[in-house]
């Protein structure tokens, strides 16, 4: 590793929050050095098409094509196809844009032909001109099942159809026990100089990745520092129901709660200035921490947060070198 370089960086990523960090991080990491391991437990089939929302969001964002307001889908897309479909399926609640559909058509056809999701994703990254290596966590199907007070829901039913109104009783990552990490995932963790847990929902974006056999052990064994970027600002996420879900499942929606949740893999955490009261608590339990404004509303803010994560990782590495 050069003095100014960071070596290989591996990021565990969900959707929109992760993508906001990645748009700042990707330009800071030399080509060929960045691997992104993406949650696929939100994947589902809509209108016969296999949709991988977190992979889509990461790819579209890195390609500079994502819708800046929604965070998902393509900027400037239209929904005429969906409107036409609603003549037959009145409650078609999951919105696939007219141009977005091409991504799902391509993925579905290749998967049906027996091509693994990791290879399909690599082809899509190439087609979109994305230089970073984007890997699904697994080529095997893992699905988040949400038990709510109203019944059992798929993740997209819970989040999109029911707008996360129901109280969550439990989460399961169906299929995770028998799943294998996608090719390259374990090596990316082993060879990394820095591992970043993106500011994604810990329960439904990061936990399914950690539930793939070998992933958690790989992180525990990794030489690289594991730095989490908190998705919380003053106890609330920028988007989505993370705080509600965390509270319902007994995880405090604070940096300390996150540190408890990631306790066996975590070395350091980037938190928002609004949560600076947790800095001392984190340091007290051996988690190195730094704080700044983590609201990534612009590329500049994404770059600042990415730099903070890289710098914190470098500090942890230096401290370890001094101690050894």
Q: In the bound complex, what is the minimum distance in angstroms from residue 43's beta carbon to ligand FO1?
A: 9
Please give the distance of CA 104 from its chain centroid, rounded to a whole number.
19
Q: Which stretch binds ligand FO1 (CB under 6 A): 1-9, 134-142, 154-162, 270-278?
A: 154-162
The rounded radius of gyration (Å) of the Cα atoms in the chain is: 19
User: Contact with ligand FO1 (CB under 6 A): which of 10, 118, 154, 156?
Assistant: 156
Near ligand FO1 in 8-27, by CB under 6 A: 14-16
Q: Does 96 bind ligand FO1 (CB under 6 A)?
A: yes
Nearest to ligand FO1 of 161, 221 (CB atom): 161
Q: In the bound complex, what is the minimum distance in angstroms from residue 304's beta carbon to ligand FO1?
A: 23
Nearest to ligand FO1 of 96, 310 (CB atom): 96
Pairing of strands 143-148, 168-174: antiparallel
Return the ∠ at Cα 88 (arms to 84 and 93), rounded to 5°.
Answer: 75
Question: Which of 317, 320, 319 minimizes the C-alpha distance to 7?
Answer: 317
User: Contact with ligand FO1 (CB under 6 A): which of 12, 51, 196, 203?
Assistant: 51
Contacts (Cβ under 8 Å, ≥6 apart) of 153: 145, 146, 147, 162, 166
Structure tokens that stand for 77 in this block:
């897309």
Return the ∠ at Cα 229 (arms to 223 and 232), rounded to 5°.
Answer: 150
Q: Which stretch binds ligand FO1 (CB under 6 A): 23-31, 48-56, 176-184, 223-231?
A: 48-56
Q: Does 94 bind ligand FO1 (CB under 6 A)?
A: yes
Nearest to ligand FO1 of 242, 269 (CB atom): 242
Q: Does 95 bind ligand FO1 (CB under 6 A)?
A: yes
Q: 3-state DSSP call for residue 64?
A: coil
Q: Beta-carbon neighbour count of residue 4 at 10 Å?
A: 6
Q: Does 73 bind ligand FO1 (CB under 6 A)?
A: yes
Say how far apart CA 256 and CA 259 lie, in whole Å: 5
The β-bridge partners of 173 are 144
Q: Which stretch binds ligand FO1 (CB under 6 A): 21-29, 95-103, 242-250, 273-281?
A: 95-103
Q: Which residues bind ligand FO1 (CB under 6 A)?
A: 14-16, 42, 51, 53-54, 56-57, 72-73, 94-96, 100, 156, 159-160
């Amino acid at each position: 590793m050069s003095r100014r370089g960071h070596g290989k960086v591996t990021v565990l990523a969900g959707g929109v929050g992760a993508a906001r960090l990645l748009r700042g991080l990707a330009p800071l990491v030399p080509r060929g050095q960045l691997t992104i391991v993406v949650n696929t437990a939100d994947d589902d089939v809509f209108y016969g098409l296999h949709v991988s929302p977190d992979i889509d969001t990461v790819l579209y964002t890195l390609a500079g094509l994502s819708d800046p307001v929604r965070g998902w889908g393509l900027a400037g897309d239209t929904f005429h196809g969906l409107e036409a479909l609603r003549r037959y399926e009145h409650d078609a609640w999951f919105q696939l844009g007219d141009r977005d559909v091409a991504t799902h058509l391509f993925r579905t056809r290749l998967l049906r032909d027996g091509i693994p999701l990791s290879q399909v994703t690599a082809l899509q990254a190439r087609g979109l001109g994305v230089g970073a290596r984007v890997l699904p966590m697994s080529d095997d199907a893992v699905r988040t099942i949400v038990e709510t007070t109203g019944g059992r829901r798929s993740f997209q039913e819970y989040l999109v159809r029911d707008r996360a109104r129901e109280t969550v009783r439990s989460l399961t990552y169906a299929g995770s026990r028998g799943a294998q990490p996608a090719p390259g995932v374990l090596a990316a963790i082993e060879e990394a100089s820095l591992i970043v847990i993106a500011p994604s929902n810990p329960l439904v974006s990061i936990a399914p990745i950690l539930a793939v056999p070998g992933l958690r052990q790989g992180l525990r064994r990794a030489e690289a520092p594991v730095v989490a970027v908190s998705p919380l600002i003053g106890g609330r996420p920028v988007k989505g129901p993370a705080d509600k879900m965390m509270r319902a499942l007994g995880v405090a929606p604070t940096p300390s709660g996150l540190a408890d949740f990631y306790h066996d893999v975590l070395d350091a955490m980037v938190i928002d200035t609004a949560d600076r009261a947790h800095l001392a608590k984190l340091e007290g339990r051996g988690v190195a921490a730094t704080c700044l404004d983590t609201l990534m509303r612009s590329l500049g803010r994404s770059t600042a947060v990415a730099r903070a994560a890289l710098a914190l990782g470098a500090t942890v590495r230096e401290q370890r070198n001094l101690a050894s």
